[in-house]
Amino acid sequence: MSIQTDFVIINANELVTLAGSSENPRIKERMKDLSIVKNGAVAVKNGKIVAVGSTDDVLKQLAEGYEVIDATDKLVTPGLIDPHVHLVFSGTREDELEKMAVLGVTYLELKEQGGGMNKSLKLTSETSFEDQIEITSKILDKMLIYGTTTIEAKSGYEMTFNGEIKQLEIIKSLNKSHPLDLIPTFLTQGIPPDHEDNVDDLVDEITEKWIPEIAKRKLAEFADVFCEKGYYSLDQTRKILLSARKHGLKLRNHCDWLSHSGGTRLSAEIGDIVSVDHLIWTPLEEVDALQGQKTIIVFLPTSPFCYVNKYAPAREIIDRGMPVALATDVSAANMCESMQMMMTLAVLRMKMTAAEALTASTINAAHSIDRAHEIGSLEVGKKADIVIFNAPNHRFFAYNYGINLVEMVFKKGKLVVERGRRVS
């Protein structure tokens, strides 16, 4: 039977399929296996993948009348997935990053001086819906140009009822207007200055008013909490997450970034949290508490790179058989939209192999946002989210780094990036 096709990418030096892991994330040795087809091809029709395999095998199956894209000497992968993004904010903080890096000023000291999170809360709440759309679209464009085709997008930079609704409405609007797919998360993040002395009251308001309204209006799929010393305590985090679960939201948890908060242990206790993120300071026995649960651990290499110079113990966590993903942690505090750079840091600073890093940026990242049935691998029936890299193989992300290796990006079968520019 001949397969109808819009276009086919042929002759890929490495066609990374990551096939066969839509049900469960890859762990241990499977993380090192990318299910590569040498001299591979992938055919697309109506935004979906219709054939994958060696170039000879795929071409034999196709009905005539298709476009051919030659990927000789190139790497072809599933669209990269970024499962942890603080997307909606206004104002930049490059001066603070320099103070931290050069003078050793800490993140919490900046906050006490009115900078850090408080500065972002103020500037973001003063920005109109339309202006915020414009600011945020530019971030999404950069992500797409660097090969990312789906992201998780968090609110959390206003922390008022109306402000958080506005943030989630912005994510909803951008999900419709921008080629990138955005998975919305309501994040309880900053503490507004007028609530510094009564965080429990704010938590009551979040659980009794904000979450029910967000759930009713279907503005978020996930809830997440900034479970960190100086932010939300274990008891407050538990209360918010359980309220979100009661209202039908899936859960994530943002923990053990600045110090050991105990958030990972709490996540294990609550159970069935879809992802726990950071884990820089988590003792390994607390990581072990997650064994047997479906939770994905998301590593965010930029925050150690920028702030603490201590990375999550990725090697030990992978060797324990835990599923892991990578993400950029784009936020007002540090800006790197490139998942290619995350793979660089994962290999050169976190002792992950190049294959593990790519697995963590594709199929396992898809699991961490509950989308592995439709993206994260090149398999028949999945969305045609495909990247052609101007690189001979997947090890190039940690070798030829700090530049954009992307040649073409296809989102749902449509060419959206070519030679470093958005083309549609």
Residues that bind Zn ion (CB under 5 A): 329
In terms of CB distance, is 256 or 329 closer to Zn ion?
329
What's the chain's length in residues? Answer: 424
**Collapsed DSSP state (helix, strand, coil) of residue 65:** coil
Instruction: Give the nearer residue to Zn ion in terms of CB position, either 152 or 329.
Output: 329
> 282 exposed, middle or buried (CB, 10 Å; 0-12, 13-18, 19+)?
buried
Question: How many CB atoms are located within 10 Å of the residue 32 CB?
Answer: 14
- Work out how close the CB of 303 gets to Zn ion at its nearest, in angstroms, rounded to a whole number: 7
DSSP annotation of 271: -
- Diameter over CA atoms, the chain: 69
The least distance separating Zn ion from the CB of residue 124, rounded to whole angstroms, comes to 15
Which residue from 58, 43, 55 is spatially nearest to 5, judged by alpha carbons?
Answer: 43
Shortest distance, position 157 Cβ to Zn ion, whole Å: 11
Closest distance to Zn ion from the beta carbon of 187 (Å): 8
Q: Which residue lies nearer to Zn ion by CB, 329 or 356? A: 329
Q: Directed axis angle between helix 116-125 and helix 161-177, to 10°?
A: 70
CB of 290 to Zn ion, least distance (A): 19
Question: For residue 278, what are the β-bridge partners?
Answer: 255
Question: What type of residue is 79?
Answer: G
Cα torsion 202, 160, 157, 252: sign: positive
Question: 3-state DSSP call for residue 154?
Answer: strand
CB of 214 to Zn ion, least distance (A): 19
Nearest-approach distance from CB 184 to Zn ion, in angstroms: 15
Task: In angstroms, give the least distance from the CB of 300 to Zn ion.
Answer: 6
> Which of 36, 327 has the CB closer to Zn ion?
327
**Phi and psi angles of residue 279, each rounded to the nearest 5 degrees, phi first:** 55, 35
Q: Taking CB positions, which residue lies at the least distance from Zn ion?
A: 329
- Cβ closest to Zn ion, residue 164 vs residue 329: 329
Q: In what order do the strands lie in the sheet with 222-227?
A: 80-82, 148-154, 181-188, 222-227, 250-255, 275-278, 296-299, 324-326
Residue closer to Zn ion by CB (options 181, 329) is 329
Say if CB 180 and CB 150 are below 8 A apart: yes
Identify which of 329, 331, 332 has the alpha carbon closest to the alpha carbon of residue 342.
329
Residue 227 vs 355, nearer CB to Zn ion = 227
Q: Is the CB of 169 or the CB of 329 nearer to Zn ion?
A: 329
Phi, psi (5° rounding) for residue 215? Answer: -70, -45
